Chain A
Amino acid sequence: QVQLQESGPGLVKPSETLSLTCTVSGDSVSSADYYWSWIRQPPGKGLEYVGHIYSGGSTNYNPSLRSRVTMSLDTPKNQFSLKLTSVTAADTAVYYCARQRPFYYGSGTYSDWFDPWGQGNLVTVSS
Chain B
Amino acid sequence: SSELTQDPAVSVALGQTVRITCQGDSLRSYHASWYQQKPGQAPVLVIYGKDNRPSGIPDRFSGSGSGNTASLTIAGAQAEDEADYYCNSRDSNPHHVLFGGGTKVTVL
Number of A residues contacting the other chain (C-beta, 8 Å)? 28
Query: Which residue in A46, A49, A110, A118 is a CB contact (below 8 Å) of B94?
Result: A110
- Return A117 CB to nearest CB of chain B, in Å: 4
* A119-B42 contact in complex given A49-B97, A109-B29, C-beta closer than 8 Å: yes
* A interface footprint on B51-88 (CB within 8 Å = 1, 0 otherwise): 00010000000000000000000000000000000101
Do residues A103 and B44 form an inter-chain contact, with CB atoms below 8 A?
no
Query: Which residue in A47, A49, A100 is a CB contact (below 8 Å) of B43?
Result: A47
Do residues B43 and A46 form an inter-chain contact, with CB atoms below 8 A?
no
Q: Which residues on the A side are within 8 Å of B32 (C-beta)?
A: 111
Q: Which residues on the A side are within 8 Å of B42 (C-beta)?
A: 96, 117-120
Interface range on chain B: under 10, 10 to 19, 20 to 34, or 35 or more?
20 to 34
Do residues B29 and A110 form an inter-chain contact, with CB atoms below 8 A?
yes
Of the candidates B42, B44, B93, the one having the most CB atoms from chain A within 10 angstroms of its own CB is: B42
Do residues B49 and A63 form an inter-chain contact, with CB atoms below 8 A?
no
- Return A66 CB to nearest CB of chain B, in Å: 10
- Return B69 CB to nearest CB of chain A, in Å: 15
* A110-B30 contact in complex given A49-B99, A62-B96, C-beta closer than 8 Å: yes
Interface residues of B (CB under 8 A from A): 29-33, 35, 42-45, 48-50, 54, 86, 88, 90, 93-102
Instruction: Identify 11 residue pairs between A and B in the complex whose beta-carbon atoms are under 8 Å apart, listed by A's number.
Output: A47-B99, A47-B102, A60-B95, A96-B43, A103-B49, A105-B31, A109-B30, A112-B33, A112-B88, A113-B33, A114-B88
